[in-house]
Amino acid sequence: MGERQKRVETIRIKYFSDKIDKLTYIDGKSDWIDLRAAEDVTLKQGEFRLIPLGVGMELPRGYEAHVVPRSSTFKNYGIIQTNHQGVIDSSYCGDNDQWFMPVYALRDTQIHINDRICQFRIMENQPKIVFDEVEHLKHEDRGGHGSTGKQ
């Protein structure tokens, strides 16, 4: 059996800052691509801020980007992403449509230009769906929310 062939997509990217490293995709290492803070940010505990990521992209038709914190973002910076996952659709692709990460600080913190604070991947848009309303679902009950216990 041969290795599964991955489709290659080309994404047009605009950099809003020359102070951040260019994005890189390392095939086979991770499907997620790191994004960096495009300016120095100082936050006090309890403050909200949109952190510019210094990039804008023309995503392929039929795709969207999912933006989430890196696994070390909270530990290193004490921030959480306020929407927990950002979704950037392919229509957000104009010359001024820079990507941002909305964050809330749980402690006083500093983020510097070029710090890797989040990551993204592109995903195919959801297919067209139709809801079929029924009185009963066909499968066996699992017992409702929380039914698998603590262990």
pLDDT digits (tens, 9 = 90+) for 34-82: 999 999 999 999 999 999 999 999 999 999 999 999 999 999 999 999 9
Q: Give 8-21 pLDDT, tens digit per residue.
A: 788 999 999 999 99
Q: What end-to-end distance do the CA atoms of the chain give, in Å?
A: 39
Task: State the pLDDT confidence band at 3, using cuts at 50, 70 and 90.
Answer: low
Based on the residue annotation, tell me whether 89 is a catalytic residue of this protein. yes
Task: State the pLDDT confidence band at 31, using cuts at 50, 70 and 90.
Answer: confident
Radius of gyration of the chain (CA): 19
Q: Kindly report the pTM of this predicted structure.
A: 0.84
Position 58 scores a pLDDT of: 97
For tokens 């979704």, name the residue: 87
Cα separation of 108 and 88, whole Å? 28
Position 5 scores a pLDDT of: 64
Q: Give 97-148 pLDDT, tens digit per residue.
A: 999 999 999 999 999 999 999 999 999 999 999 999 999 998 888 777 766 7
Has residue 2 got a pLDDT over 60?
no
Residues 6+ apart with CB under 8 A from 45: 78, 105, 106, 107, 108
| Active-site pick, 21, 40, 89, 108 | 89
Position 4 scores a pLDDT of: 59
